[in-house]
Structure formats: structure tokens, C-alpha cells
Copies of this chain bind each other. A is one copy, B any other.
Amino acid sequence: MKFGRIALPSPDGKVARLVVVEPEKGRVVDLARAAALNFADKYQATEEAATAMAKVAFPGSLVQALSLGTHLTDRSEEVVSRRGDDASLPLNGVEWLPASDAPLVRDTLNFVGHIKGFHDRMGTPPAPSLLKIPAYTKNSGTMVIGQDATVPWPGYINYMDYELELGFVVGLRGRNLNPETAKKHLFGITIYNDFSGRDLQGNEMPILMGATKSKDFAHAIGPWITTIDEFKDLDDISMEVRVNGEVITKTNSSGTLWSIYEQLAYISLGEYIQPGDVIGSGTVGNGSFLEKGRQLSPGDVVEMEVGGVGVLRNTLGQKQEGLWWPSERPAGSL
């Protein structure tokens, strides 16, 4: 199945709703509404009581929905088949929200092609420890954006780039897993465009603490999530990126240092992977404009197509000028 999040108007302003996406039928099914109707049928409940119950069972937050464990996947099919027709909206024209609302977006470094391509261009060798441990970083989730959202462009970024990645979405909470036990914790796959300010990375990377302002202005995640049972081979998922309609890279998900289950297990060591967490697959080889010696401009439309998921589309906004920026400390301060 495919799960997404949309915004609907309500007397309380816009509210987030969890939907089942049926691209072949050109529609989305509002799960809370369908579940309320189904609950009222099934238990002879009043519509008001059934609605209250359904909002708790199928909340608009993916994190909350998946915190109810396997309930979402176990119950959605019945709800959609019984009352989906009475709770559906046309796919076109829907206002999408980020596919997950997780507060933390981890991102791995895993595709051999990208690691080599990036370092060739930088003229530096990759870290030897990339062969010892799965590499990942942690991004703030406050600027996660969804399908069709305009990408905010802070004025302090001059060299704007995209990064084509799969987004692995965690289902069940887990800690200290191994690659075998990690399997049941993977809920599904979405598309992750990790927009990046390349000119800022020269200052940020040598500090060794991970990227900051070069990354945490826009993490595009969507358009929706396809559950993991729909993928036959995680190493053969087609991936393509287009800028203003021009195909820049057409590739697939093969050529990684670590399997997703090795990565999930490693990330879970000593800490929790949480429902709704998004873990970037790492940029695929030639999955950034940098590797082509090119960069994005305001107004550019970036489309990422992933087999079994769909197309994630975002438009670059205008540069936001006039922001404060720190003044350099005096030489000799360190």
C-alpha cells in the first residue's frame, strides 16, 4: 500500500490527514474519515463517537500512526475496501504534506559511485573508516517539505544543489538490532531530495561535526511512502532525476557499501530508531548536480522518480536576502 499525508481545510484551520494513495484509481482515501464510517457500520456506533475514535486510530501524524505499531498496515485495507469510496478525494489538486513528520532525518553515505564522484571532484580521498562503519549524519526535521512545495532558498547559499536518495521509513521502534532482527522495523520507502548549499560545506565539513546551514533549510520527503512488501529487490529500484524536464541521471539503487538492514541495525545500536524516522539511502552515483559541474537556479523544477513510489517534484524559490550572518572572530582567537 501507499501512505501519504495531506492538508484539508477545517473549522480549526488546515489539518493534517493520513491517506491511502491509489494512483491507479487517481484518488486518495482519507483514512480517518473512512475508518469513522466503517466503525459506525461495524459497531452500530454514533457517527460522532466513531469519528473521535477514528481520529485517534488514524491520526494525521505519521509518527503517531506508526507509534500504534502494526495497526496501520493491519487495518487500513479493510477500512479502504469497505468505505474508501465514501472518503476519497481526487489525486490531482491535493495539498501534500511531507510524507513523514519525524523530527530527525538521518542520512547515510553509502553509494560507492557517489562517494568516488564527490571525492574525485573535491580532490580528496574518502575516509578509510567508511569501510569500517556505516556512515550517517543527523539532520533537523523542522524544514521537511512535501510534494509540490516551494524550496526556501536562504540568501546565504549561493551554490544550490539537489541529492537523489531513497528515504527508508521506520515502522516499529527498536534498539540494539542486528541485520536480521532489523527487517521487521522497515515500514516502507519514499523519495528524499536532500537539498544542499555546496558553497557552505567548505566551512562546515572541516569542523567534523556534520553539515549545518548547508543542509537544514529544506529536506523534501514524498510524495508518499510505499510499504516494503511491494518491493522485490531493494538493490534494483529505478531512480531518475530531472531538472526542468531534462533527464540528468537515470540509475538504480545498486552499488552500496552496506545493506539497508545493516544500516538500520547500526543506527539502532545504543539508541532507538523510532516510528516515522526517515533514513536517507545516501546520494546515488551522479545523484547530485555537483557531480555534473552544474548548479540549480531560482525557479528550477526538480523531479525525482523512483520505481514503485512515484515522482517527487519541487520548485526552487527565490533567494531570501537580508538575513543576519555572524561576523568572523579575530585572528588569534584560537
Listed in ascending order, the chain A residues whose CB lies under 8 Å from chain B are 103-104, 107, 109, 112, 115-116, 126-143, 152, 154, 156, 176-179, 202-213, 216-217, 257-258, 262, 265-267, 269-272, 274, 320, 323-326, 328-331, 333-334
With A136-B209, A139-B138, A334-B112 known to touch, is A269 a contact of B131 (CB < 8 Å)? no
Whether A213 and B138, one on each chain, are in contact in the complex, defined by CB atoms closer than 8 angstroms, is no
With A129-B204, A132-B328, A324-B269 known to touch, is A210 a contact of B209 (CB < 8 Å)? yes
Whether A109 and B207, one on each chain, are in contact in the complex, defined by CB atoms closer than 8 angstroms, is yes
Residue in A177, A209, A329, A333 whose Cβ sees the most chain B Cβ within 10 Å: A209
Say how many copies of this protein the assembly contains: 2
Whether B127 and A206, one on each chain, are in contact in the complex, defined by CB atoms closer than 8 angstroms, is yes
Whether B334 and A135, one on each chain, are in contact in the complex, defined by CB atoms closer than 8 angstroms, is no
Residue in A176, A207, A210, A266 whose Cβ sees the most chain B Cβ within 10 Å: A207
Question: With A and B bound together, what is the CA distance between A143 and B269 in angstroms?
Answer: 11
Whether B208 and A205, one on each chain, are in contact in the complex, defined by CB atoms closer than 8 angstroms, is yes
Closest to A265 in B: B324
Contacts of A330 on B, CB cut-off 8 Å? Answer: 131
Contacts of A132 on B, CB cut-off 8 Å? Answer: 203, 326, 328-329
